[in-house]
Amino acid sequence: MKIAFLTDPLDEFKIYKDTTFAMMREAAKRGHELYTFEPQDMAYAGGEVVAQIRRIRLTGEAVWYQAEVVGEMALTKFDAVLQRKDPPFDMEYVYATYLLELAELAGARVFNKPAAIRSHNEKLSIAQFPQFTAPTIVTRDEARLRRFHAEHGDIILKPLDGMGGAGVFKVGADGLNLGAIIEMLTQNGSRTIMGQRYIPEIKHGDKRVLLIGGKVVPFSLARIPVAGEVRGNLAAGGTGVAQPLTAKESEIASTLAPILAQRGLLLVGCDVIGNYLTEVNVTSPTCFQEITQQTGFDVAAMFIDALERV
C-alpha cells in the first residue's frame, strides 16, 4: 500500500511515544510505502486536490527518517490517506477537512472520514450517548452555568475546542472564582462551553479506551493526575498506566465501537472517568505506544490490520 500521512512537522515528533510514528513503523515493517505532507502543502488546483509530497524511509536511528521530495501528487494516487494532524480544531483544520472531503469524493480513501471528524466535536459527541455520561451542560449563558453549579456543587468547566487539558477548571462547592472562570471561558458570553459534574474517580485516572475498526483494544491507558491537579492528560503532567478494561469501560466501548466505525471513524479514543464517558476523540487519538510498552498488546498492528481490511 501507498500510505500518505497528513501530520505535524516530522522533526517535532517524540518518537518514543508518538502514535503516528508507531503506525508508520508497523506499516513499514509490512512493506508499505510511507509518504507525508502537512496541511499547508494541500491545494485544490486543476480540478483536484493535490499536495506537495515527501516519501520517507525510517532509519531506526536518532535521526529517525530520511525524506525524498516527490513533488505534487493528487491524493487519489494513494491507497490510504491518514489524517494525523493534531488540534487545535480551528478554521484551518476545518478547511483541511473540506479539502480532504473533496479528495474523497474523487476517490481518495481518507481515515478518519473528514465529514465524520467535523460532525463529532470531541466534547459534545458524548451527548449522543447520555446513558454513559455524568450530568452535563453546554451553554454560554452564565445564569444556566450558575444554576448547574448550585445543583451539583463540585463541577468541571472546559472549552469545547481544547486539547491536552488546556482550559479545564474545577470549581468547588464554595463557588470560588466561578464568575471569573465563566467570564474567561465564555469570553463574556460569546463562546459556548461545557460543564460537567466533577467525577472524583479522576484520582484513579482519566482512561483512554481505543476503538479500532469497530473493535475494542482490551487495555486502557489511565492518565493519573499529579498531586494537586484534576487533569490527567499526559500533556498536563499525568502519568500513564496501562490496565485491562473494567466491565463498564468494556460496555461503553463495545456500544460505541460499531456505531462510530459505521460513521467512518476508523480510530477513536474514548475518555472514561469512573463509570462515565467524558470525551470522544476523533482528530488524532494517541496512546498506542504506552499501552504496547506496558502490556505487550500491539496496538499499531491492530490498527494496520484494520487499515488493510477497509
> Which residues are marked as active site?
123, 158, 208, 223, 231, 271, 279, 281
Q: Is residue 300 left, alpha or beta, with left meaning phi > 0 and alpha meaning psi from -120 to 50?
A: alpha
Write the DSSP string, the chain.
-EEEEE-S-GGG--TTT-HHHHHHHHHHHTT-EEEEE-GGGEEEETTEEEEEEEEEEE-SSSS-EEEEEEEEEEGGGSSEEEE-PPPP--HHHHHHHHHHHHHHHTT--EES-HHHHHH--TTGGGGG-GGG--SEEEES-HHHHHHHHHHHSSEEEEESS--TTTT-EEE-TT-TTHHHHHHHHHTTTTS-EEEEE--GGGGG-EEEEEEETTEEEEEEEEEEPPTT-S---GGGT-EEEEEEPPHHHHHHHHHHHHHHHHTT-SEEEEEEETTEEEEEE-SS---HHHHHHHH---HHHHHHHHHHH-
- Distance linking the first and last C-alpha atoms of the chain: 12
